[in-house]
Amino acid sequence: MAEELRKSVFNEELITHLSDAFSREMSSFDKQVFHELIFQQDWEDLGLKERMRRITLSMHEVLPEDYEEALHILYKVAPTVGGLQGTIFPDYVELYGLNAWKASIKALAFFTPFSTSEFAVRPFLIQDKNRMLQQMIEWAGDENHHIRRLASEGSRPRLPWGQSVPALKQDPKQTLPILEQLKCDESLYVRKSVANHLNDISYIEKDWMLDVVKSWYGKDVKTDWIVKHACRSLLKKGDPEALSLFGYGDDPGVTVTKKHAFKDLSTRKHYSGTHTLSVIVNGVVKAEADFD
**Residue-level pLDDT at 101:** 97
Between CA 120 and CA 108 the distance in angstroms is 8
The pLDDT value recorded for residue 258 is 81
CA angle 283/284/286 to nearest 5° reads: 135
234-247: per-residue pLDDT in tens? 999 989 999 999 98
Query: Position 228: which residue type?
Result: K
Ramachandran angles phi, psi of 29, nearest 5°? -65, 130
pLDDT in tens, 139-170: 999 999 999 999 999 999 999 999 999 999 99
Backbone angles phi, psi at 87, to 5 degrees: -65, -15
Q: pTM score, two decimals?
A: 0.84
pLDDT tens-digit series, residues 101-148 = 999 999 999 999 999 999 999 999 999 999 999 999 999 999 999 999
- The identity of residue 60, as a single letter, is H
Integer Cα distance of 231 and 167 in angstroms: 23
What pLDDT digit, counting tens, does each position of 66-96 carry? 999 999 999 999 999 999 999 999 999 999 9
Q: What is the mean pLDDT of the chain?
A: 94
3-state helix, strand, coil in the chain (%, to 5): 60, 5, 35
Helix (H) or strand (E) holding 252: none
Cβ distance 242 to 210 under 8 Å? yes
Residues 168-213: pLDDT tens digits?
Answer: 999 999 999 999 999 999 999 999 999 999 999 999 999 999 999 9
